[in-house]
Amino acid sequence: MAYFEQSERILLPVNVAYMAFTVVLALLFNLLPWHDLTGVPDMAALVITFWCVHQPRRMGIGAAWFVGLIMDAGNSTLLGQHAFAYAFLAFGAIALYRRILWFSLWRQAAHVLVLLLASEALMLGVRMIAGGVFPGLLYFAGSFTAAALWPTATFLLLLPQRRPESVDENRPL
Amino acid sequence: MDYQPPPFFSRGPAPLVRLGFFISLAVLLMVLDARFRYAESIREVFALLAYPLQRVALAPVELLSASADFFTTQVALKRENEQLKAKDLLAASDLLTLEALRAENTQLRRLSEARERVPRVSTLAEILYQGRDPFSRKVIIDKGSQQGVEPGQAVIDDVGVVGQVTRVHPFLAEVTLITDKEQRTPVEVVRNGLRAVIYGGGDKGTLDLSYTAADADVQANDLLVTSGIDGTYPPGLPVAKVTKIERDAAYSFAKITCVPAAGTDQNRQVLVLSREAGLPPPPADAEPRAGAAPKQKRPRKQ
């Protein structure tokens, strides 16, 4: 299978600044004015899951918690609601990273879908306890979109690590 | 003797321990925020971090609308101009009568030794975006404490009441729409002056006139306006229109559903009204009770 051939490639070490940059980009995406559009993926959750799976020593529960708090402040939701869900998400991803990476991309996406749905359900539970109204099952649609984006996200987020180590003058890139 | 792994293998506390730590922190924050509202200073810090991201995220939208403005055709502009002129003419006659009426009203009030009504200062604000939160109905406007916006101020559009400022950041403010589940607005029925409190209906975008007696004189198509008793909203602003009344003998209250008069989900420009001067400040809820309803914003008197 093509993917397994690809996975034999030894990647360059990750740049922490690049990780931070992708997280900021994901936050930007989340803060775009989406209004009531259903099925908008939670990019920050996806990127956090990605880095927790691929770099569990660099991205952790604390960082996820911090990103969650920025989400809460930016969207003026209950402070701590996203932080709570993202911390669980990061924990799940770190607990499963050795397993997830054995699978092909779409099967990885299935694992990620379960993680994202669980974190969304947690957030829903928290809000119901705090006295919210049930927003309907379409609330979970965003998780499916996000999971569907997993292969694309894998390709894009690993691009800088796929650069050739020695730059060939005749063959740039 | 205990053996420690060499320091280069050390990975800090176990994930489960970290998870426990951060989860408890998050729960603590949520309880502080929902029950006691002590977490505002922490929120300020993170809102400050999120602010540049918000501005950058909104830039493409603003650019799009700006370019759309730029490419407006001359015909459309001309047509709009004509419409506005006609409207202006209509409004001018109204304005003349209004001036006369206002003078007369002031004089009558002075005669009856009533408190003179001070016209309120208002700030024009633009709705930046709707909070990405399916559980509440809030919008973010582009004016904050630097422009004199304060929590508790009323927000209206050209038709009626939109909501109330509930949280203020330096350059942004959060407005809870009247359709939010936890928002209450004191109203009265125009037809007979019956006072009531209207509750937001949450996700449905409607309002409920709760705790109104089953035999109360409310009819379909009744217009509800602010009663102004609370000192937050000026009296007489349209709030909602009654659409459906269900009277059930089994309950002592009627179930009255209304639709908001203002375009709570449509408009971009809104007006933030300052509080009426000269009123005593509302009693401070300095010690929120543990049993109080979550997210009690301010005492709203009826």
pLDDT, tens only, B181-228 = 888 889 988 888 888 889 888 767 788 888 888 788 888 888 888 888
CB nearest to B135's CB, from A36, A91, A127: A127
Q: Do B42 and A33 touch (CB under 8 A)?
A: no
Residue B155: which of B197, B189, B126 has the closest Cα? B126
Question: By three-state DSSP, how is residue A160 classified?
Answer: helix
Q: Do B174 and A76 touch (CB under 8 A)?
A: yes
CB nearest to A77's CB, from B130, B131, B202: B131
pLDDT band at B281 (very low <50, low <70, confident <90, very high): low
Query: Using an 8 Å Cβ cutoff, are B273 and B202 in contact?
Result: no
Using a CB cutoff of 8 Å and minimum separation of 24, what contacts does B217-223 make?
B217/B189, B217/B191, B217/B192, B218/B189, B218/B194, B218/B242, B218/B245, B218/B254, B218/B256, B219/B191, B219/B245, B220/B244, B220/B245, B222/B189, B222/B190, B222/B191, B223/B189, B223/B190, B223/B191, B223/B261
Query: For residue A87, which amino acid is it?
Result: A
Query: What's the confidence (pLDDT) of residue B76?
Result: 83
Low-confidence ranges of chain A (pLDDT < 70): 1-9, 35-36, 165-168, 171-173
Is B25 touching A (CB cutoff 8 A)?
yes
Distance separating alpha carbons of residues A94 and B3, to the nearest angstrom: 26
Whether the per-residue pLDDT at B118 is higher than 70: the answer is no
| Alpha helix segments (H runs only) across chain B | 15-31, 40-70, 74-111
Buried b (16+ CB within 10 A) or exposed e, A86-97: bbbbbbbbbbbb
Query: What's the confidence (pLDDT) of residue B269?
Result: 81
From chain A, pick out residues whose CB is under 8 angstroms from the CB of B45. 73
Alpha-carbon Rg of chain A, whole angstroms?
17
SS (H, E, C) B229-292: CCCCCCCCCEEEEEEEEECCCCCCECEEEEEECCCCCCCCEEEEECCCCCCCCCCCCCCCCCCC
- Which of the given ranges, A155-159, B95-99, B245-249, B292-296, has the highest pLDDT on average? A155-159
From chain A, pick out residues whose CB is under 8 angstroms from the CB of B47. 73-74
Query: Using an 8 Å Cβ cutoff, are B126 and B142 in contact?
Result: yes
Query: What's the confidence (pLDDT) of residue B288?
Result: 46
CB nearest to A62's CB, from B16, B22, B167: B22
- What mean pLDDT do residues B144-164 have? 86
Residue % of chain B over a pLDDT of 90: 3
Residue B223: which of B251, B204, B198 has the closest Cα? B198
pLDDT, tens only, A21-64 = 999 999 988 888 776 677 889 999 999 999 999 998 888 899 99
Whether the per-residue pLDDT at B131 is higher than 80: the answer is no
Report B:164-203 residues touching A (Cβ under 8 A). Answer: 167, 174, 181-182, 202-203
Query: For residue B20, which amino acid is it?
Result: G
pLDDT band at B300 (very low <50, low <70, confident <90, very high): very low
Query: What's the confidence (pLDDT) of residue B73?
Result: 75
Report B:206-245 residues touching A (Cβ under 8 A). Answer: none
pLDDT, tens only, B237-275 = 888 989 888 887 777 888 888 988 887 667 778 888 887
Query: What's the confidence (pLDDT) of residue A4?
Result: 45
Whether the per-residue pLDDT at B289 is higher than 60: the answer is no
Distance separating alpha carbons of residues A138 and A37, to the nearest angstrom: 10
CB nearest to B18's CB, from A60, A127, A139: A60
Q: B286 or B7, which is more confident?
A: B7
Please, which residues have CB within 8 angstroms of residue A62's CB and are 6 or more apart in sequence? B18, B22
Domain ranges for chain A = 15-159
Q: A36 or B22, which is more confident?
A: B22
**Dihedral (CA of B29, B32, B33, B34) sign:** positive
Provide the mean pLDDT of chain B.
79
